[in-house]
DNA sequence: ACCAAAAGCCGCCAAC
DNA sequence: AAGTTGGCGGCTTTTG
């Protein structure tokens, strides 16, 4: 089987970590699988040495020497403003990436690389993210992009975008997982000594955001303060002075979560915080309102794809 | 790992 | 006329 070609496209003033993180993930995947799963290719407009924003330079190949149609994955690394602008207006890079996309290559960006994809129209109608400090800019300049400011990384119809710097690692782990399964991705994460593997959609944050304003702000605040008690739909609807049917409908459209899912996310989030401060699993489970540690284990599996004990252990390194 | 019971969820639709 | 409400039924998910 031929290795899957992964092209990383560098611009002037590239962020070193945007390149190094993904590169090491794919390289370690090869090592740990003991098979050449991925072939890494660093590309730039002219080839040669590319100086990163921190002055360390990387060797690259001229992009036009490679056939875009051969690429399995193309990663656009982030860089400073001038670098991105330069890339956006460089027709050789643009056409090459578009050709790769037309040939069904998987596209991905790290950090400000999303601006290049957006400028070329590739993110129209798609969910995407970029560095947290630039999400509002992305939204302002490209109103057809569904910007997800809370996500570490997002995948929508074959195009992946990730937030800043180290999230490129999280994204590439998810790519490895999609290609070769969870076991290999976990081994790579472990090899990289990543404490806790982070999932792409930080839904806990979204849940918390939803709590800050809007029609159910008060109810949500109350939920947060009363996680230990039973929070089923009849009770919540009663507190909201609505019928169950209307409450469910309104709550879901307001927060994006059904009531039960929302409560579970809150409990998992709070449990994580307790586990982080060293509280034992059983105690944490009771403290946040899970009726048993068994129930918490199931919730952790659902939301984080790991057990509470695994989560706690992952923090200790 | 399984299963029956319970709870959650959501489309449907008549009634506002 | 268009939009919201809430009861019902049944399908899916969760629980113990």
The pLDDT tens digits of the residues spanning A49-91 come to: 999 999 999 999 999 999 999 999 999 999 999 999 999 999 9
Residue pair A81/A17 in contact (Cβ under 8 Å)? The answer is no
Residue with tokens 């782990």: A173
CA dist A102 to A105, A158, A297, Å?
Answer: 7, 12, 43
Contacts of A28 (CB under 8 A, 6+ apart): A188, A191, A192
For the ranges A33-42, A93-102, A109-118, A305-314, which has the lowest average pLDDT?
A: A305-314
The one-character DSSP state at A155 is: E
Residue % of chain A over a pLDDT of 70: 91
Q: Which of A85, A19, A110 is nearest to A57 (CA)?
A: A19
What does the pLDDT average to over A261-267?
94
CA of A252: nucleotide with nearest C1': B9
The one-character DSSP state at A61 is: E
State residue A203's pLDDT score: 47
Q: For residues A251 and A265, give the distance between their C-alpha atoms in angstroms, rounded to a whole number.
A: 14
State residue A204's pLDDT score: 45
Question: Is A292 exposed, middle or buried, given 0-12, 13-18 or 19+ CB atoms closer than 10 A?
Answer: exposed
Please tell me which residue, A221 or A195, carries the higher pLDDT value. A221
Q: For residues A150 and A208, give the distance between their C-alpha atoms in angstroms, rounded to a whole number.
A: 11
State residue A180's pLDDT score: 87
State residue A199's pLDDT score: 57
Closest protein residue to C5 (Cα–C1'): A246
Does the CB of A234 sit below 7 A from strand B?
Answer: yes
State residue A304's pLDDT score: 85
- The pLDDT tens digits for A119-131 are 999 999 998 999 8
Question: What pTM was computed for the model?
Answer: 0.62
- Strand B nucleotides with an atom less than 7 Å from a protein beta carbon: 7-12
Does the CB of A305 sit below 7 A from strand C?
Answer: no
State residue A201's pLDDT score: 56
Does the CB of A245 sit below 7 A from strand C?
Answer: yes
Does the CB of A221 sit below 7 A from strand B?
Answer: no
Percent helix, strand and coil across chain A, each to the nearest 5: 55, 15, 30
C-alpha A37: how far from chain center: 22
Does the CB of A233 sit below 7 A from strand B?
Answer: yes
Question: Is A258 exposed, middle or buried, given 0-12, 13-18 or 19+ CB atoms closer than 10 A?
Answer: middle
pLDDT band at A277 (very low <50, low <70, confident <90, very high): confident
What does the pLDDT average to over A180-201?
70
Please tell me which residue, A277 or A260, carries the higher pLDDT value. A260
Does the CB of A249 sit below 7 A from strand C?
Answer: yes
Positions 35-94 in A, CB within 7 angstroms of strand C: none
C-alpha A203: how far from chain center: 11
Residue pair A193/A28 in contact (Cβ under 8 Å)? The answer is no
pLDDT score of A139 more than 80: yes
Residue with tokens 């709070």: A270
């Amino acid at each position: 089987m031929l290795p899957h070609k992964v092209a990383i496209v560098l611009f002037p003033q590239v962020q070193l970590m945007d390149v190094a993180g993904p590169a090491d993930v794919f390289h370690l995947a090869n090592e740990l699988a003991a098979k050449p799963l991925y072939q890494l290719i660093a590309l730039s407009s002219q080839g040669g040495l590319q100086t990163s924003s921190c002055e360390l330079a990387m060797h690259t190949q001229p992009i036009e020497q490679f056939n875009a149609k051969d690429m399995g994955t193309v990663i656009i690394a982030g860089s400073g403003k001038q670098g991105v602008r330069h890339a956006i207006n460089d027709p050789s890079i643009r056409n090459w990436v578009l050709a790769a996309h037309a040939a069904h290559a998987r596209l991905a960006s790290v950090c400000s690389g999303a601006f290049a994809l957006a400028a070329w129209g590739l993110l129209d109608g798609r969910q995407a993210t970029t560095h947290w400090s630039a999400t509002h800019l992305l939204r302002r300049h490209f109103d057809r992009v569904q910007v997800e400011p809370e996500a570490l990384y997002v995948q929508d119809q074959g195009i992946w975008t990730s937030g800043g710097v180290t999230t490129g690692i999280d994204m590439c782990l998810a790519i490895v997982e999609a290609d070769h399964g969870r076991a290999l991705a976990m081994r790579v994460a472990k090899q990289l000594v990543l404490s806790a593997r982070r999932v792409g959609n930080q839904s806990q944050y979204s849940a918390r955001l939803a709590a800050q304003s809007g029609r159910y702000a008060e109810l949500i605040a109350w939920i947060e303060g009363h996680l230990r008690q039973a929070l089923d739909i009849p009770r919540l609807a009663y507190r909201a002075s609505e019928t169950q049917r209307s409450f469910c409908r309104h709550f879901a459209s307001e927060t994006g979560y059904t009531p039960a899912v929302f409560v579970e996310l809150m409990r998992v989030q709070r449990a994580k915080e307790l586990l982080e401060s060293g509280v034992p699993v059983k105690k944490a489970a009771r403290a946040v309102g899970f009726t048993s540690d068994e129930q918490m284990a199931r919730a952790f599996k659902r939301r984080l794809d790991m057990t509470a004990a695994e989560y706690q252990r992952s923090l200790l390194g």
